[in-house]
Amino acid sequence: MNRASFHRNRSQFRLGFWLLLAPIVLWLSLLIILPHVDMVLVSLRERIASRQYGFSLDNYTAFFTEPLYWNTFVRTAVMSIIATLMTLIIAFPVSFYIAKVLSGRPKIALFILCLIPFWVSELVRTYGWMILLRETGLISGALQWLGLAGQPVELLYNDVAIMIGLIYTSMLFMVVPLVTTLDSLDNSLIEAGYDLGGNGWQVMTNIVIPHAMPGIMSGCIVVFMLTLGNYLTPTLLGGKDSLWFTEQIYTQFITRFNWEQGAAFGILLLILSSLIVWLGLKLTKQSFTRVMS
């Protein structure tokens, strides 16, 4: 009797468990795992005839033999790393100011002020930079008005414009983790550092930065991911020759309808981003689950 009731209780519990498990398994398998497996399969085939496919590594060899693809890939990776580091350098003092210098109402207000631009679509933000940077834009106009330029200056469609756009777009994802970790640093640790004879630079490198490392890493990883996978900003601010790798993927899929090649590019980009994320985590001894949650 007793045991039977116990079992019934257990089986009810199991039923609830399966009902909770089924949706997440469906979601992850149908929308995340199987699509990526399928993409790998597509990237490893070539069209022999209409609806006839054979196994082939051509899509990958094409990547390594065609300098345009290869250059774009490296250029995207390098520019993403530069953009990430610059975002960090720009965001750190501001985050420190919000977390440690300010307190009370101004602190919350400034933090929210930091967030609000990012509630607005990336498209709108990029559009703002286009208006600022274009030949007939505000900065060009200002330079002429100041007499620094004799004629309209085209500031769009170059790497600096792309870089500004990328940094601007990623700023939030750096500021939030930085403010959060810096906020958790006890002020008395900084005071103790000074009290024991350290100067500003030593306190910063010995106490503040080691403490903020998890936040720095999680910010860097997210910013790098977003930059690497960005399509909008390089296309709009860099113009036709922005040479961003996501554009290559788009071109192969949508313009040339060469899905096999596009899938191979997608896999390569995914491998690159996973590799860099993994490397970042290993270097700073952070766990993926902790950084992401």
Choose, by CB under 8 A, the member of 221, 223, 243, 264 that binds other proteins: 221
The least distance separating other proteins from the CB of residue 203, rounded to whole angstroms, comes to 7
State yes or no: residue 113 binds other proteins (CB under 8 A): yes
State yes or no: residue 60 binds other proteins (CB under 8 A): no
CA distance 28 to 91: 34
> What does each C-alpha distance from 283 to 190, 214, 226 come to in angstroms?
26, 11, 20
Choose, by CB under 8 A, the member of 17, 64, 70, 205 that binds other proteins: 17
Choose, by CB under 8 A, the member of 100, 111, 153, 284 that binds other proteins: 100
Partnered with residue 45 across adjacent β-strands are: 55
CA distance 43 to 259: 8
CA distance 158 to 135: 13
Residues numbered 137 to 176 that lie near other proteins (CB under 8 A) are 137-138, 140-141, 168, 171
Q: How many CA atoms lie within 13 A of 6 on its CB side?
A: 3
Choose, by CB under 8 A, the member of 50, 52, 116, 241 that binds other proteins: 116
CA distance 164 to 159: 9
Choose, by CB under 8 A, the member of 11, 15, 32, 78 that binds other proteins: 32
Choose, by CB under 8 A, the member of 215, 219, 238, 266 that binds other proteins: 266
The contacts of residue 49 (CB under 8 Å, 6+ apart) are: none
> What does each C-alpha distance from 126 to 40, 201, 233 come to in angstroms?
33, 36, 6
Residues numbered 223 to 262 that lie near other proteins (CB under 8 A) are 225-226, 228-232, 235-236, 246, 249-250, 253-254, 259, 262
- Secondary structure class of 80 (helix, strand, coil): helix
Residues numbered 35 to 54 that lie near other proteins (CB under 8 A) are 35-36, 38-39, 42
Compare residues 123 and 213 and give the one whose CB is closer to other proteins. Answer: 123
State yes or no: residue 271 binds other proteins (CB under 8 A): no
